[in-house]
Amino acid sequence: MTEKADLTAVLDRAAEGGRITPEEALELYRHAPLHALGQAADAVRRRRYAGTEHIATYIIERNINYTNACVTACKFCAFYAAPKSDKVWTRDLDDILRRCAETVELGGTQIMFQGGHHPDYGVEYYEEHFAAIKAAYPQLVIHSLGASEVEHMARISGVSAEDAIRRIHAAGLDSFAGAGAELLPERPRKAIAPLKESGERWLEIMELAHRLGVESTSTMLMGTGETNAERIEHLRMIRDVQDRTGGFRAFIPYTYQPQNNALKGRTQATLFEYLRLIAVARLFLDNVAHIQGSWLTVGKEVGQLSLHYGADDLGSIMLEENVVSSAGAKHRSNRMEIIDLIRKSGRVPAQRTTTYEHILVHDDPANDPVDDHVVSHLSSTAIEGGTAHPELKILSTN
């Protein structure tokens, strides 16, 4: 174990903006006192955002799940259905466009197009849908998919990953959501997602996207049986790519949800492990601008605490979310509550864009929005058409 004085020296160096090694990050993650870790991470955040360090952001978005058919069968996933299963459904384009319309009506600025690796959906499918969304709602940012979907659609269409990225970007994709990262190191990735591409390949595709002008976020799924060292290795792999491309605008860790999936809750990350990782990520990822707290999986109070452990963003008010909620995440929120959570953490709330520009800073509570319709609707695939358009039907693909 590293001596306490050595840990203090590493924390001080990191808090002052110095780069720490993966070995030092692991020692901090395992042994640094929790409050000292949080203080150092918050010092980094304050320095990075000097002048706006009093602000914490959120975004209004919608996750549009276009199909649950998936050939990948990840063990942690409670959302997917085998392609030939009678549980498979898909949404038609009219349904998707209505959901985009509702997003605009409720002040949303971003959609995440999220679904399974459908055996018939190649590049052409995404080109058609992104082009239709952009034609109808050019103000919406399409922040969607990730390297796993690129690998899959390129294989289905018989084209290169580069061609796939160029084509869907030209059709309307603005930004990759970092989906499919899960755990990047080989052992835990093979344990939970043996049919997915390797972590190295995931990063290769994201690096390619960055070089083609498509930025992204980066994510991490905690609590599926990975070791502390593998968590830090995941961060190292991201930092190495970021050193070359600068294309990851944010890092977003979230926790495994244990219901209705093949892992059956055999392991999970504790809330303290989550907060420690948020803090270490802020210290270690000195080249990634934003750290996002995930209230959806860890709960609102811990999400709020993450703002004191290096996070500068509290994520989204998801007008619809079906994937992690299928595995047991039942936290819901509305715009007024997110604003209140941020304010009670001692920060000024601000609605942001995908690229973190401030749209509206809520610096005066007297001017806060009062529309309680801007609320997260979880597990809305359980309701035909979702909550706002009951006339919409889920279509069988059998």
Which residues carry a binding-site annotation for [4Fe-4S] cluster?
70, 74, 77
Instruction: Tell me the CA end-to-end span of the chain in Å, nearest whole number.
Output: 57
**Listed residue (164, 274, 280, 166) closest to 233, CA to CA:** 280
Residue set of the binding site: 70, 74, 77
Task: State residue 201 phi and psi, 5-degree precision.
Answer: -70, -40
Cβ atoms of 202 and 241 closer than 8 Å: no
Distance from C-alpha of 115 to C-alpha of 144, rounded to nearest angstrom: 10
H or E, element range at 124 = helix 123-136
Residue listed under structure tokens 């303290």: 272
Q: How many helices (H) and strands (E) does the chain have?
A: 15, 10
CA distance 254 to 314: 12
The encoded tokens of residue 142 equal 């399409």
Name the CA dihedral angle for 374, 379, 381, 384, rounded to a multiple of 10 degrees.
Answer: -70
